[in-house]
């Protein structure tokens, strides 16, 4: 049973949505998760309430997107006129074939699939979101990374005229994030173009955002314009803002507290005042898929 200790949450999501999920995903991971579901279904019953999808209205009105302000409702209120057309993404750095590609081309070249992921914010709340997108690895393979490509750096758009938050020194703009190459190539790591089968709303990071489900939400950059393969570990905007609080890896880990607040539990968005916090799980419940990326690493040191 030890094998399943990382998977308390995901199978429950699958429990309700398994038909849809597996049909859409059609991947080995899908059937693997189904097996886990069968084994842990007794468990699932007890935690029934946490397997349901977060409502669309909450996903699209409760956002951290400091480019549009630090309030949770700022992004939805201030991003509606944000222009996402035309939009080009450049993929360069340590690659054989650097490209600049338009959003239209991306949507045409990479068919989108549905991925139901739990999103765990570093602030201690979580949502379950049906994303539409495709594995980042697919697009990275197209540009043929060289053997010097050890990390991937994501740069979001810089546009203080349209993004009021960028007129203030809240973070080191534009927003920068990074992944190790193996994390970026992992099948669970996706580029997102939509949610709930709809076009990605501006407040959720349109037209193109990242989603890395086993890391805290801030690792998943929004409104990406540049993906650069690099040799050295990039410094993210949050690392620069507070290196003691935000590490490069930022894997969801209930045992490693943020220096100022606990990460042991989380609130489920949309659950109301009555429902209690739930325990946070290692790698946000995706440990079976990703724990092997960190074999032998001290995750307290590399937080």
| Tokens linked to 133 | 């997108």
Q: How many residues bind other proteins (CB under 8 A)?
A: 26
Using rule CB under 8 A, residue 276 touches other proteins: yes
| Tokens linked to 190 | 């996706």
Using rule CB under 8 A, residue 302 touches other proteins: no
Using rule CB under 8 A, residue 261 touches other proteins: yes
- The interface region with other proteins, picked from 11-19, 41-49, 85-93, 120-128 by CB under 8 A, is 120-128
- The interface region with other proteins, picked from 66-74, 108-116, 130-138, 198-206 by CB under 8 A, is 66-74
Question: Which x/- pattern, by CB under 8 A, does the window 6-45 give for other proteins?
Answer: ----------------------------------------
Using rule CB under 8 A, residue 262 touches other proteins: yes
Q: Determine the 3-state secondary structure of 49 from DSSP.
A: helix
Residue 38 falls in which region: left (phi positive, over 0), alpha (psi -120 to 50) or beta: alpha
How far out from the chain centre does Cα 230 lie? 20
How far out from the chain centre does Cα 257 lie? 20
Residues 229-258 that bind other proteins (CB under 8 A): 241, 257
What residues does 102 pair with on adjacent strands?
A: 88
Distance of closest approach, residue 248 Cβ to other proteins, in angstroms: 17
The sign of the CA dihedral 253, 281, 214, 164 is negative
Give the Cα separation of 187 and 196 in Å (integer).
Answer: 20
Give the Cα separation of 294 and 19 in Å (integer).
Answer: 31
- Alpha helices, DSSP H, located in the chain: 10-25, 28-46, 56-59, 74-78, 103-109, 136-142, 181-185, 237-241, 287-290
Using rule CB under 8 A, residue 68 touches other proteins: no
Distance of closest approach, residue 294 Cβ to other proteins, in angstroms: 25
Using rule CB under 8 A, residue 86 touches other proteins: no
Q: Which single residue is written with the structure tokens 């429990």?
A: 15
- The interface region with other proteins, picked from 128-136, 247-255, 259-267, 283-291 by CB under 8 A, is 259-267
The site for other proteins (CB under 8 A) is made up of: 58, 61-62, 66, 70, 72, 122-123, 125, 168, 170-171, 241, 257, 260-262, 264-265, 267, 269-270, 272-273, 276-277
């Amino acid at each position: 049973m030890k094998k399943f200790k990382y998977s308390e949450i995901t199978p429950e999501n699958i429990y309700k949505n398994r038909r849809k999920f597996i049909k859409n995903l059609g991947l080995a991971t899908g059937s693997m998760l189904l097996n886990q579901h069968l084994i842990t279904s007794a468990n699932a019953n007890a935690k029934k309430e946490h397997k349901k999808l977060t409502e669309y209205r909450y996903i699209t009105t409760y956002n951290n997107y400091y480019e549009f302000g630090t309030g949770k409702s700022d992004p939805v209120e201030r991003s509606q006129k944000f222009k996402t057309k035309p939009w080009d993404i450049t993929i360069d750095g340590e690659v054989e074939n650097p490209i600049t590609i338009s959003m239209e081309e991306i949507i045409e070249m990479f068919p989108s699939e549905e991925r139901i992921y739990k999103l765990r914010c570093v602030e201690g709340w979580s949502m379950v979101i049906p994303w539409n997108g495709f594995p980042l690895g697919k697009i990275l393979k197209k540009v043929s990374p060289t053997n010097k490509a050890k990390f991937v750096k994501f740069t979001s758009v810089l546009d203080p005229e349209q993004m009021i938050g960028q007129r203030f020194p809240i973070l080191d703009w534009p927003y920068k994030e990074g992944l190790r190459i193996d994390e970026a190539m992992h099948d669970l790591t996706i580029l997102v173009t939509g949610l709930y089968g709809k076009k990605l709303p501006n407040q959720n990071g349109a037209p193109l955002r990242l989603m890395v489900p086993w890391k805290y939400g801030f690792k998943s950059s929004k409104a990406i314009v540049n993906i650069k393969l690099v040799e050295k570990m990039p410094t993210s905007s949050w690392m620069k803002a507070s290196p003691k609080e935000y590490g490069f890896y930022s894997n969801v880990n209930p045992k490693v507290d943020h220096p100022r607040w606990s990460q042991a539990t989380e609130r489920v968005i949309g659950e109301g005042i009555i429902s209690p916090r739930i325990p946070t799980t290692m790698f946000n419940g995706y440990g079976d898929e990703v724990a092997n990326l960190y074999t032998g690493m001290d995750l307290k040191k590399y937080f």
